[in-house]
Amino acid sequence: MVKVGDVVARISYGKDIYFKVIEIKEKENIAVLKGINVRVIADAPLEDLVHPSSFEIREYKKEYIKKCNECMERIFYRRELEISRLRRGNSEENDFFYIPGRVLHVDGDKDYLEFCLSTYKQLEIEAYGVNVPEKDQPKKIKQLVMEYNPDILVITGHDALLKNRSDFKNIDAYRNSKYFIEAVKEVRKYQPSLDDLVIFAGACQSHYEGLIKAGANFASSPHRVFIHALDPVFVIEKVAFTPFDQIVSVKDVIDATITGIKGIGGIGTRGKLRQGLPRSPYD
């Protein structure tokens, strides 16, 4: 018997993704599902669901953790090389300090938000998080930006193409893309500069073209694929640690993610890292 909180997989999709059951609609005999590691909300008939074994769940999570760790290792290695280049030729290199971009992360999923905030901390990025349901983001986003005054804004949560819809250009074919697009537009009314405020927007299968046209610097999902929970963080890290007088390499941004070019895209954008001198002896 399937219950709220269970971890399940869909038989009809070859058990490719593991979900947590967040609601059961008994009259329709349908379960509402949230991806364990991908930003998607879906529904499925109860008879299409199966409980993976404890071993299968452990292996599934282990593979995800492995991919995250590999991304983190690449990030720290790249960052070390870039900081070394910045310091090269400075005889007083120890006196320099660096301030990466500050982040406001607005997420429709509380669990994913906490996961992302923990990762920002590991990556030494100052980040503030606010849990706002996707449908409420357009109404609240401007006030949040004014309150936190970030260098970088993340607008994300869950999304998906609605079942049996293949009209990829139609915004009504998506669960939450219209809310992300409206939220980006609201922010751009307040701060139109693509370099003064860098925006990542979208989730699984989101309407990528609509988000970019609305004013997002980076967005998901060009090929309407699922994106991983931490992909927005890995995108933002590259922006936060690229010097402000350099253009962020979109290819490097995409390469830093778990999903890759089918799930993440963007446009040329200035970085947010600033170098200062001297380093305070009390810091």
Query: What pLDDT sits at residue 97?
Result: 85
**Cβ neighbours for 169, distance < 8 A, ≥ 6 positions apart:** 209
The answer to whether position 1 is within a domain reads no
243, 244, 248 from 99: Cα distances, Å = 10, 10, 16
The count of domains in the chain is 2
The answer to whether position 86 is within a domain reads no
Same domain for 137 and 38, yes or no, is no
The answer to whether position 90 is within a domain reads no
Query: What pLDDT sits at residue 82?
Result: 77
Assign residue 74 a region (left: φ > 0; alpha: ψ between -120 and 50; beta: otherwise).
Answer: alpha
* Domain containing residue 129: CATH number: 3.40.50.2300
The answer to whether position 125 is within a domain reads yes
Query: What pLDDT sits at residue 90?
Result: 59
Residue that has been written with the tokens 């199966």 in this structure: 50
Task: Provide the token pair at 216.
Answer: 């997002």
Same domain for 173 and 243, yes or no, is yes
The answer to whether position 238 is within a domain reads yes
Same domain for 25 and 141, yes or no, is no
Rounded to the nearest angstrom, the gap between the alpha carbon of residue 152 and the centroid of all alpha carbons in its chain is: 12
Same domain for 194 and 262, yes or no, is yes
Query: What pLDDT sits at residue 92?
Result: 54
The answer to whether position 223 is within a domain reads yes
Note down the domain range covering 108: 75-81+96-276
pTM of the model: 0.90
Same domain for 165 and 38, yes or no, is no
The answer to whether position 260 is within a domain reads yes
Query: What pLDDT sits at residue 1?
Result: 87
Query: What pLDDT sits at residue 151?
Result: 98
Query: What pLDDT sits at residue 225?
Result: 93
The answer to whether position 87 is within a domain reads no
Query: What pLDDT sits at residue 91?
Result: 53
Query: In tens digits, what is the pLDDT along the chain, a chain of 283 residues?
Result: 899 999 999 999 898 899 999 999 988 999 999 898 888 888 899 999 999 999 999 999 888 889 888 888 988 888 888 777 766 655 555 678 889 999 999 999 999 999 999 999 999 999 999 999 999 999 999 999 999 999 999 999 999 988 777 789 999 999 999 999 999 999 999 999 999 999 999 999 999 999 999 999 999 999 999 999 999 999 999 999 999 999 998 998 998 899 999 999 999 999 999 988 888 888 7
CA distance 233 to 104: 11
Same domain for 158 and 38, yes or no, is no
